[in-house]
Chain A
Amino acid sequence: MDLKEKLISSFMAFENLVDVDSPVHDVRSEAIKVFETQGFPSKKEEAWKYTSLNSILKHDYSVFPKHENTVEYNDVKKYFIHDIDTYKIVFIDGKYASHLSQTTHDGIDVCLMSSALAKPKYQLIIENYFNKIATKDSLTSLNTAFSSEGAYIHIPKNKLAAKPIQIIHFSTGSESALMNQPRNLIVVDENSHVQIIERHQSLTDNPVLTNSVTEIYANKRAIVDYYKIQNDNENASLIDNTFINQKQESVASTHTFSFGGKLTRNNLNFYQNGERIDSTLKGVTIIGSKQHVDHNTLVHHIQPNCESHQDYKGIFGDSATGVFNGKVLVEKEAQKTNAFQANNNILVSDKASINTKPQLEIFADDVKCSHGCTIGQLDESAMFYMRSRGIPEKEAKALLMYAFSNNVLSSVKIPEIKQRITKIIATKLGVDIGFDL
């Protein structure tokens, strides 16, 4: 039985497990039909031309993980941003791990999707927001069909989440191969502000496939900063589907740091449903061996006077492969749009490759849209210059690569995240220098 068949046949059992009377029962049933019709995407589809899922779909994934929360905080502390106080929503093999978490209902709701789906007091939010901007493509639908657990965050009007929120998904070795389908819902109401850090981390070498869906609603004048730290081990793969709906004058930013994993696909979609909206999409990808990272972004400019800024940097070594497909869609009504997109790449090995494809579809006539992509090598003259001053080859390379990524890092608002990323980059590049730029 292939994975598709296994998932479809598991669905009934799953529905019985999570409660057939659930308000999202119909949504799930719809979704599994979509998945059944479409199946997993193949390279024949334009959006998947450069990313094949074949190598990760061949495993016999367990769809219903056993409930074993044996992970101790001290063993996994290093995966947390632990030097500042944060709320934490932590899952192990898809199940909530209360002993590692710190949730709240004090003015804001930082809790679980399973409670939000079950309890009447959340019903209105679920009705208004759940699965409203998630697209009906096959992978998102697959997640919707199995959606039962994940983070639920609601910041009501005029509230500031006092601490950043960490959403961390661990997978352990208690299953030979594991498929996770986390589902997050984040609703930030008028004038409110939240900072979120998301991480997926496998704790063993067993294959893991995570198909995650996150819906984020930034309502009027809300500010949302989202950081994705993708530094998983090389048997873990991630398909991240994130949808951000912005209302008037909201400011939303995502920073995606992709260093780990076997295969990572980021489907990141911004919808500007209001005027004077600001959207920022930034990313740094540094990969080697046979790793693959694919950024597939969409910024949909629907209303006038909005801005979007995309800046993705990639460094590819060994036989690593990368994809950047950035679509900017400017509707006829979206006059005075200011859309900027840049994708710069460095190939440090002859076998590494990157496919980069800007895609601009502009139907308005009074807009400023720019895009640029570059693919290059490390500057040899800069290398000699640095080495002639006593900086060894490896360190000189690392310094150049870090400097290359610095544009993206400089807009990270939480210093501890910046420090952490800096450390991960140093480890990744095998150097012991501070990059104290």
Chain B
Amino acid sequence: MSSMLKINNLHASVEDKAILRGINLEVKAGEVHAIMGPNGSGKSTLASVIAGKEEYEVSEGEILLNDENIDELAAEERAHKGIFLSFQYPVEIPGVSVTNFMKTAINETRKAKGLEDMPANEMLKLIREKSELLEIDRKFLSRSLNEGFSGGEKKRNEIFQMAMLEPKLAILDETDSGLDIDALRIVANGVNKLKSKDNAVIVITHYQRLLDYIVPDFVHVLYNGRIVKSGGKELAHELEEKGYDWIKEEVNA
């Protein structure tokens, strides 16, 4: 099977500070990858660079999505090709309702693919279906996007958007932070229901907790801008038990 995402020797920096120093990663359709690592190791940067955040400069290497180099694509073009980033800190946008935001996002994506706007009744049906999946109150959907949402509500709303957009590659950046156990279960359940043999998920997390619910096929440890260790799901348990120090020692040795 050919790879969905292939990252070769990726170096990225922000304001001349090197953050990613040669990442290699291959993700195939149907797989779940977890990326773990201590604070400041470059996890969120990797997520942002894949999603196309312009502040980061890619100095070396390449990102291929279905064998196509996406380095030059704008964030929205990457989204149109099926990349979705669930933000660690979703941005508040006063004055734009969740529903209208989703409508615009879906119709702009369709426009990019040469499709007509989604008919209103179909849109409503989709919203109803996906909000039920994430156990989101209907009233919530007419509120301003993320404004005054609790941490848990913001994360649930991210996964709701993911469900609406049905991405090929979903990157969940610390989706578990700020979630209580019930919210975690709802979010994980949502992600699991959306998983299929045609899409892939990258879960970025500090803790093993979320990986009890979204079970990864591969676990990678990111440290100092490089993937220093990869393994199966048992690696996550080992990290939970022993922390990151032994990895750091191994690398620095």
Contact = CB atoms under 8 A, between A and B. Distances in A.
A382 interface: yes
A376 interface: no
Given A385-B93, A395-B108, A390 B103 contact: no
Interface string B54-98: 100000000000000000001110111000110100111111110
A391 B108 contact: yes
B51 A388 contact: yes
B76 A393 contact: yes
A389 B76 CA distance: 7
B136 to A, nearest CB: 17
Interface in A373-424: 379, 381-382, 384-393, 395-396, 399-400, 402-404, 406-407
B105 A382 contact: no
A379 B145 CA distance: 14
Contacts of B150: none
Contact of B93 (A382, A388, A435): A382
B100 A390 contact: no
B161 interface: yes
B95 A406 contact: yes
Contacts of B93: 382, 385-386, 400, 403
B104 interface: yes
A83 interface: no
Interface in B2-48: none
A1 interface: no
Contacts of B165: 389-390
A385 B104 CA distance: 13
B218 interface: no
Contacts of A392: 74, 76, 108, 112
B112 A390 contact: yes
A437 B95 contact: yes
B190 interface: no
Contacts of A436: 100, 103
Contacts of B112: 390, 392
Given A382-B91, A400-B93, A388 B75 contact: yes
Nearest to B171: A388
B52 interface: yes
A376 to B, nearest CB: 13
Contacts of B53: 384, 388
Interface residues of B, number: 34
Contacts of A403: 93-96, 144
Q: Which of B96, B104, B109, B112 has the most CB of A within 10 A?
A: B104
Contacts of A57: none
Interface string B135-175: 00000000010000000000000000100010000000000
A406 B145 CA distance: 14
A433 interface: yes
B74 A387 contact: yes
B96 A437 contact: yes
B76 A379 contact: no
Contacts of B51: 388
Contact of B101 (A389, A393, A407): A389
Contacts of A391: 76, 104-105, 108
A356 to B, nearest CB: 20
A397 to B, nearest CB: 12
Nearest to A403: B95
Contacts of B80: 390
B74 A389 contact: no
A120 B78 CA distance: 73
22 contacts: A382-B91, A384-B91, A385-B91, A386-B93, A386-B105, A387-B74, A388-B76, A388-B78, A388-B84, A388-B87, A390-B76, A390-B80, A390-B109, A391-B104, A395-B108, A396-B76, A399-B96, A404-B95, A406-B95, A437-B96, A437-B97, A437-B100
Given A387-B76, A390-B76, A392-B74, 4 more contacts: A381-B91, A388-B75, A389-B79, A395-B108
Interface of A: 379, 381-382, 384-393, 395-396, 399-400, 402-404, 406-407, 433, 435-437
User: Which 10 A-B residue pairs are closest in the complex by CB-CB distance?
Assistant: A403-B95, A390-B79, A387-B75, A390-B109, A385-B91, A389-B105, A406-B95, A387-B76, A403-B96, A392-B76
